[in-house]
Structure 1
């Protein structure tokens, strides 16, 4: 089996980091943790499990992960978020892969997003493909502050799963919605991407219909409706905040 480096970026992830690293250690020959100056037991737990821990003030999600690639010894890298872990079928798939002769530079996994103790199988939360295993000499992460991804043109999808403990409750979802929409506006404010006054409402409406009707949120009860609504609000505020930056960033108080 080809040797693989595991990569995780962390900040105060003591609740999740043990399960994340233990799953990586089943398929990785080393695990690299880039920690953003945690104040809890994240570093102690990671070190005790044998991970190589490097401290780095947070640079943004994409830049932070690219920074971590420099510490990886092997060309194939398996990157997880701290609140993710490999499911048994993903471990088995990775162990079977012939990475030496692979025609791909990136592999995508299905992600099981868990919320309120259950697997949400509706809305855009499933199958929610994410790129996690890649050849670091051929591809890198985008430099986005949030929702970074491996930039690849030669990727393939696996049917196996990554388990994701995404949000603890609706308060947590709203907090992250606000954070991610702000980061999206910052990532795109310097580009030529222009939005109109209709963009936030249209994107928000489409996101709700896609999640609740097309992707089956209507079948998932109370959580299905709320996830659809919050996804719509996230889309609305991404474009509302970008429009705000484009119109008023130079305005004087």
Structure 2
């Protein structure tokens, strides 16, 4: 008995959910799924696996995850996305970490895929995510609309080896809608800082993002997939600052 809650947030997330739930059944003392209005089979699948399902209207990524953490029955939390599958070897490491380590948070290494092809380089390499933690030691930023992460005050460690297989996109074309959503949310963050955004800022950030992903982080070695990641990363950076600048100019016109 580890007293561990495996926690998900979801909306229309049926695609990989069965595989993800199956991967944690031997580990979890509780599986909790917090859904914000799925119209597909997400909640039915979760209930068939014995998960406890709660409904909560969308609070933003940070707020939704914090609600889920607070709603869990146990203090140790493994936070997973519905398109993430825990590897069998990771289950043993998680058991040991909770029982034997003094750390209150653990980073898990994630292998990302496009379709079934693993991405070895670019922005997606060395993707360490803090997903296993003692909720008594911290919280999610409830104001974070995007790029939310667990913030704890205690010691953290990395679990060795790849723990999570992540399947965010079946096809390259699926990257574009997500790019748009994230660009808009990130633009709001940039705008909220209140700093002046020059006309050159979108281009500078976009070009830097492309060079970092494709050249410095060797995305070129992932072929077309690496190029697609680099270009979408660059476009996302460009649009983030372009939209934020547009918001500033609109404020100026209205003042």
Q: CA distance change for structure 1 residues 91 and 121 in 2, over 3 Å: closer, same or farther?
A: same
TM-score (norm 1): 0.92
Q: Say which of 239, 244, 247 aligns to 1:245.
A: 247
Question: Relative to structure 1, is the Cα distance of residues 129 and 249 closer, same or farther in structure 2, using a 3 angstrom cutoff?
Answer: farther
- Partner-residue secondary structure (3-state), 1:27: coil
Q: Could you say which structure has the higher strand fraction?
A: 2
DSSP-derived class of the 2:207 partner: helix
Aligned position for 2:25: 25
Give 1 or 2: higher helix fraction. Answer: 2
Residue 46 of structure 1: how far off its partner (Å): 0.4
Q: Do the aligned residues in 1 keep the contact of 2:115 with 2:167 (CA within 8 Å)?
A: no
Question: TM-score scaled to structure 2, two decimals?
Answer: 0.92
- Structure 2: how far apart are the matches of 1:54 and 1:141? 19
Q: How far does residue 250 in structure 1 lie from its aligned partner after superposition?
A: 6.4
Deviations 1:114-166 (A, max 9, x none): 11321100101112111110111111112311221112353222233211111
Tell me how large the CA RMSD over aligned residues is.
Answer: 1.8
How many residue pairs match? The answer is 251
1:190 corresponds, among 189, 192, 215, to 192
Distance in 2 of aligned mates of 1:87 and 1:198: 44
- 1:118 match: 117
Secondary structure of the residue aligned to 2:131 is strand
- Which residue is equivalent to 1:155? 156
Q: Which moved more, 1:20-29 or 1:44-53?
A: 20-29
Q: Indicate the residue corresponding to 1:3 in structure 2.
A: 3
Aligned to 1:108: 107
Post-superposition shift, 1:194? 4.3
What SS class does the counterpart of residue 204 from structure 1 fall into?
helix
Residue 50, structure 1, aligned to residue 47, structure 2: no
> CA separation in 2, counterparts of 1:77 and 1:196?
42
The answer to whether the 8 Å contact 1:131/1:149 transfers is yes
The aligned residue for residue 67 of structure 1 is 67
Confirm whether residue 79 of structure 1 aligns to residue 90 of structure 2. Answer: no
Alpha-carbon distance between aligned partners in 2 of 1:47 and 1:247, rounded to the nearest angstrom: 49
Q: Decide whether the 8 Å contact of 1:108 with 1:130 is kept in 2.
A: yes
Q: Give distance in 2, aligned partners of 1:185 and 1:224.
A: 24
* Partner secondary structure for residue 186 of structure 1: helix
Q: Aligned partners of 1:81 and 1:213: how far apart in 2?
A: 29
> Could you tell me whether the CA contact under 8 Å between 1:139 and 1:152 is conserved in 2?
yes
Q: Distance in 2 between matches of 1:246 and 1:201?
A: 17
The runs of 5 or more residues in structure 1 that have no matched partner are none
Residue deviations 1:84-135 (CA, integer Å, cap 9, x gap): 11122322211221x3564322111111111132110010111211111011
